Amino acid sequence: PSLSEVLNLHDFEAIARKVMQGKAWAYYSSAADDEIAIRENHAVYHRVWFRPRILRDVTRVDWSTKILGQFSSMPLYISATALGKLGHPDGELNLTWAAAKHNIIQMIPTLASCSFDQIVDAAAPGQVQFLQLYVNKDREITKRFVQHAEKRGIKGLFITVDAPQLGRREKDMRMKFEADDPAEVRENDKQGDVDRSQGAARAISSFIDPGLNWGDIPWFQSIAKMPLILKGVQCWEDALEAYDRGLAGVVLSNHGGRQLDFGRSGLEVLVEVVEKFGEKRGISFPNEKFQLFVDGGVRRASDVIKAVALGATAVGIGRPFLYAFSAYGLDGVDRALQILNDEFEMNMRLLGARTIKEVVRDMVDASSIHTH
């Protein structure tokens, strides 16, 4: 179908499934075990309802915001997803270019198919990028990578903490990852021994350190000045620990359902985190000093707005952009962002919120989300 027939982010998934190579589709779409977590990620948004306000002058509405102090045209960012070249020869650069055009932030993955420098070089002047970090058993490699990233102007470091071992993604495991695969990543090549017999995910992840722990946090704080965020927090206890240790925020996420199956969706965790921070530390959200992010299953601007109303600074979106560039290249990602932008305009008006600050807790009914 032509791009003008693509009306929402779900459409990209249906089209990608038909046009993508089996191996790439398996890697992008797969999730852990019985794929229950991924199923709930989007479904949980269906349990939150709006309480719109009327008779406010909504001639002009503005949904731009700041994420870690950086301007963003929408309260969302492109989350890190590995192996962009499996879907399209330009890989992650499709995301960089579209992010520049729409003034949104791209989180560069450690396991990008394009090199880190290539992705930074492709950015427009002043374009903001974050970095997702998988921590190497060899801390010298990690230190060099982080310090290089900081020198290159990266504005936030998202340390992935939910992947001491890769989840079993059986769809992906049934595919063999070829040695000469064009998407083979440099970062991993440096690590040597790679087992390619069990799918893309297994092949690229052997260097990740399962020994990573809270005691490593001061070390990260000593090697980097940029904001440090933990990606993959799943309960209020760990969010509170991150706050107490002086981190800049957390991403409440189950890794798109790809790690621990039955890990709750980020939105669900958000509700308990906000409640407990109020109770235990007397702070409320959104909060500039400690920012909460959510990802997993976000497919509509209305989903984003629900997370913002519940206290998130912004949300991450992964697969829809992969599906968009796999099917249509840069134009697909451009279209996906335009669709979200149009959805924001309508939803803000119909909600009676003229700015992101006016998207408040009372605009949603989340009573069917129970907290721990």
Interface characters, 31-50, with ligand FNR (x: CB under 6 A): ----------x---------
Q: For ligand FNR, which is the closer residue by CB, 318 or 332?
A: 318
Is residue 255 annotated as a catalytic residue, yes or no? yes
Given its phi and psi angles, is residue 82 left (phi above 0), alpha (psi -120 to 50 degrees) or beta?
A: beta
Q: Could you tell me the smallest distance in angstroms from the CB atom of residue 51 to ligand FNR?
A: 26
Q: For ligand FNR, which is the closer residue by CB, 102 or 231?
A: 231
Q: Could you tell me the smallest distance in angstroms from the CB atom of residue 93 to ligand FNR?
A: 16
Q: β-strands 70-72, 65-67: how paired? A: antiparallel
Residue from 102, 306, 319, 354 in contact with ligand FNR (CB under 6 A): 319
Q: Which amino acid is at 291?
A: Q
Q: Could you tell me the smallest distance in angstroms from the CB atom of residue 116 to ligand FNR?
A: 13
249 φ, ψ (degrees, to nearest 5) = 165, 180
# binding residues, ligand FNR (CB under 6 A): 25
CB 3 within 8 A of CB 331: yes
Is residue 243 annotated as a catalytic residue, yes or no? no
The yes or no reply on residue 298 touching ligand FNR (CB under 6 A) is: yes
Query: Could you count the other beta carbons within 10 Å of the beta carbon of residue 42?
Result: 18
Provide the H-helix boundaries in 296-352.
301-309, 319-328, 330-351
Q: What is the 3-state secondary structure (H, E, C) of 170-214?
A: HHHHCCCCCCCCCCCCHHHHCCCCCCCCCHHHHHHCCCECCCCCH
Is residue 134 annotated as a catalytic residue, yes or no? yes
| Active-site residue, from 42, 88, 102, 255 | 255
Integer Cα distance of 132 and 119 in angstroms: 13
| Active-site residue, from 134, 243, 323, 328 | 134
The yes or no reply on residue 286 touching ligand FNR (CB under 6 A) is: no
The token pair at 77 is 């960012």
Q: For ligand FNR, which is the closer residue by CB, 6 or 229?
A: 229
Positions 137 through 196 that interact with ligand FNR (CB under 6 A): 160
| Active-site residue, from 11, 77, 102, 162 | 162
Q: Could you tell me the smallest distance in angstroms from the CB atom of residue 287 to ligand FNR?
A: 22
Identify which range of 48-56, 144-152, 293-301, 302-310 contacts ligand FNR by CB under 6 A: 293-301
Given its phi and psi angles, is residue 227 left (phi above 0), alpha (psi -120 to 50 degrees) or beta?
A: beta
DSSP string, 245-278: TT-SEEEE--GGGTSSTTPPPHHHHHHHHHHHHH
Residues forming a β-bridge with 228: 157
Identify which range of 7-15, 46-54, 316-324, 361-369 contacts ligand FNR by CB under 6 A: 316-324
The token pair at 199 is 């799918």
Q: β-strands 49-50, 105-108: how paired? A: unpaired
Q: Could you tell me the smallest distance in angstroms from the CB atom of residue 107 to ligand FNR?
A: 7
The residue whose Cβ lies closest to ligand FNR is: 318
Residues forming a β-bridge with 317: 78
Interface characters, 55-94, with ligand FNR (x: CB under 6 A): ------------------------xxxx------------
The yes or no reply on residue 26 touching ligand FNR (CB under 6 A) is: no
Catalytic residue IDs: 134, 162, 255
**Which residues lie near ligand FNR (CB under 6 A)?**
27-28, 41, 79-82, 109, 111, 132, 160, 231, 253, 255-256, 258, 295-298, 316-319, 322
